[in-house]
């Protein structure tokens, strides 16, 4: 009887060509998204400040988040069911191409157009593409690696995504200081690279779909899974409300221009600072993953997120603001890593698209809708008070969730 072959080594992850192409596309897509987000925010704020006060212009910047959130909210659940029905590789490629179209449209508007409404319309198109991209990518990634390499793949995905999130805002700050149109053109090239990487993936990307069931029934099954798993529900809803209240990124153009006076270059650094902290924590988690008392550590991390939001709001120096944002990003990474691990490890492959869609909906709400919330509050309280209010709200939500979700508080291991 022949001996069983030795198990694959952990280093074999990056030796898998389909996964490397997926990872490369994810990096360039994240880099483009960060670059474009900074460029849009700065251009909108500059246009608004020509005729508006600081508070009014801050509200207009917050509207970008709303424009991206509405299609995300409307389409995400359908997108998740689509990712569980059709070829995930093809869907991902089409999403990158749709984002490429938004970059080209923004470049043309910046060079030849006028007004804010075309920017909001293209932002809405971008939000629609994101609605399909995130659940599809979250469902496709685990199909490209064997189960024993999945935890390492999740950590690697986070590292690469955070690296793109660091470089993207910094690149966007430099490019929009030269010309917003140039920033958008670079984004178009990056999205084209991502689309090509996805198209070159050679792997079975069709999920094990159950025929004979309606879309509504499929979506209901995914929602039922999340609702029935109180640990998953508590984790993703905590992220929703904490970041919804405490998200300061939507007002960073205001702080860069009219609070800290550091210009577009400083804005790029501020925008990249949370990703720097997240990258460092993601690297730590890749080597020393959370093994015990998962729930308590996640709650403490979200509480730290709220404290650092308060510190950023009250800071009067650029260095302290950068430090607060970096710590804030690192704390948020603990929550992100925990949630992604729970969703991808515990969910059957046939449901990954739908369950990832619910998670994406919560993430999208916390980010884009959080930017809108910050803009609305800033319209009445001013930008500094709006961010301080959000930080205090995050602390309150952390305590409330520790009481409402005992399963989250008592969770010991990611399994």
Q: Is the pLDDT confidence value at 363 over 80?
A: no
What Å distances lie between residue 375 and 122, 166, 176, 208, CA to CA? 19, 24, 22, 43
Q: What is the pLDDT of residue 387?
A: 85
Q: Three-state SS across 247-314?
A: CCHHHHHHHHHHHCCCHHHHHHHHHHHHHHHHHHHHHHHHHCCCCCCHHHHHHHHHHHHHHHHHHHHH
Query: By mean pLDDT, which of 123-132, 203-212, 374-383, 393-402 is the weakest?
Result: 203-212
Q: What is the spatial distance between Cα 17 and Cα 308, in angstroms, rounded to a whole number?
A: 40
Query: By mean pLDDT, which of 30-39, 367-376, 380-389 is the weakest?
Result: 367-376
Q: What is the pLDDT of residue 103?
A: 94
Q: What value does the mean pLDDT of the chain take? A: 80
- The arithmetic mean of pLDDT across residues 162-191, rounded, is 86
Q: What is the spatial distance between Cα 396 and Cα 382, in angstroms, rounded to a whole number?
A: 21
Q: What is the spatial distance between Cα 312 and Cα 321, in angstroms, rounded to a whole number?
A: 5
Contact 219, 347 (CB under 8 A): no
Q: What is the pLDDT of residue 365?
A: 57
Q: Is the pLDDT confidence value at 170 over 50?
A: yes
Q: What is the pLDDT of residue 182?
A: 92
Q: What is the pLDDT of residue 413?
A: 67
pLDDT digits 0-9 by tens, 21-32? 999 999 999 999
Using CB atoms within 10 A of its CB, is residue 381 exposed (0-12), middle (13-18) or buried (19+)? middle
Q: What is the spatial distance between Cα 295 and Cα 206, in angstroms, rounded to a whole number?
A: 34
CATH fold of 16-202+214-410 reads Growth Hormone; Chain: A; (1.20.1250)
The runs of H, that is alpha helices, within 179-262 are 180-199, 215-228, 230-246, 252-254
The more confidently predicted of residues 13 and 404 is 404
User: Angle of helix 383-404 relative to helix 54-83, nearest 10 degrees?
Assistant: 40
- The arithmetic mean of pLDDT across residues 304-332, rounded, is 91
Q: What is the spatial distance between Cα 61 and Cα 117, in angstroms, rounded to a whole number?
A: 12
Residue 217: how many CB atoms within 10 A of its CB? Answer: 11
Q: What is the pLDDT of residue 304?
A: 92
pLDDT digits 0-9 by tens, 250-291? 778 888 888 888 887 788 788 778 878 888 887 787 777 777
pLDDT digits 0-9 by tens, 80-135? 778 777 888 899 999 999 999 999 999 999 888 777 889 999 999 998 898 888 88
Counted residue by residue, the chain has a size of 415
Percentage of the chain lying above the pLDDT 90 cut: 19
Using CB atoms within 10 A of its CB, is residue 20 exposed (0-12), middle (13-18) or buried (19+)? middle
């Amino acid at each position: 009887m022949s001996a069983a072959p030795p198990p694959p080594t952990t280093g074999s992850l990056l030796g898998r060509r389909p996964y490397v192409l997926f990872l490369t596309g994810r990096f360039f897509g994240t880099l483009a998204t960060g670059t474009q987000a900074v460029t849009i925010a700065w251009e909108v704020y500059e246009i608004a400040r020509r005729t508006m006060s600081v508070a009014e212009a801050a509200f207009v910047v917050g509207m970008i988040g709303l424009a991206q959130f509405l299609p995300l909210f409307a389409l995400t659940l359908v997108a998740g069911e689509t990712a569980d029905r059709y070829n995930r590789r093809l869907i991902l490629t089409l999403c990158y191409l749709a984002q490429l179209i938004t970059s080209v449209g923004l470049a043309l508007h910046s060079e030849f157009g006028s007004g804010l409404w075309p920017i909001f319309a293209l932002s809405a198109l971008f939000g629609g593409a994101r609605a399909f991209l995130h659940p599809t990518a979250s469902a496709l990634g685990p199909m490209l690696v064997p189960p024993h390499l999945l935890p390492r793949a999740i950590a690697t995905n986070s590292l690469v995504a955070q690296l793109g999130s660091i470089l993207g805002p910094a690149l966007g700050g430099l490019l929009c200081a030269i010309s917003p149109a140039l920033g958008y053109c670079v984004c178009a090239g990056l999205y084209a690279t991502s689309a090509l990487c996805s198209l070159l993936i050679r792997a079975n990307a069709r999920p094990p779909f159950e025929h004979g069931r309606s879309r509504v029934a499929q979506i209901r099954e995914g929602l039922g899974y999340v609702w029935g798993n109180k640990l998953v529900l508590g984790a993703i809803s905590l992220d929703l409300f904490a970041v919804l209240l405490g998200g300061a990124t939507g007002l960073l153009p205001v702080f860069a221009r009219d609070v800290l006076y550091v210009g577009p270059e400083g804005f790029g650094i501020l925008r990249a600072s949370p990703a720097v902290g997240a990258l460092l924590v993601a690297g730590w988690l890749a080597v020393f993953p959370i093994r015990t008392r998962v729930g308590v550590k996640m709650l403490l991390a979200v509480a730290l997120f709220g404290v650092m939001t308060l510190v950023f709001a009250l800071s009067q120096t650029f260095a302290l603001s950068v430090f607060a944002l970096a710590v804030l990003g690192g704390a948020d990474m603990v929550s992100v890593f925990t949630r992604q691990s729970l969703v991808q490890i515990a969910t059957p492959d046939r449901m990954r698209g739908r369950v990832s869609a619910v998670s994406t909906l919560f993430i999208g709400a916390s980010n884009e809708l959080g930017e809108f919330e910050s803009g609305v509050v800033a319209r009445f309280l001013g930008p500094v008070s709006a961010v301080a209010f959000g930080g205090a709200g995050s602390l309150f939500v952390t305590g409330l969730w520790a009481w409402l979700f005992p399963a989250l508080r008592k969770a010991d291991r990611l399994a």
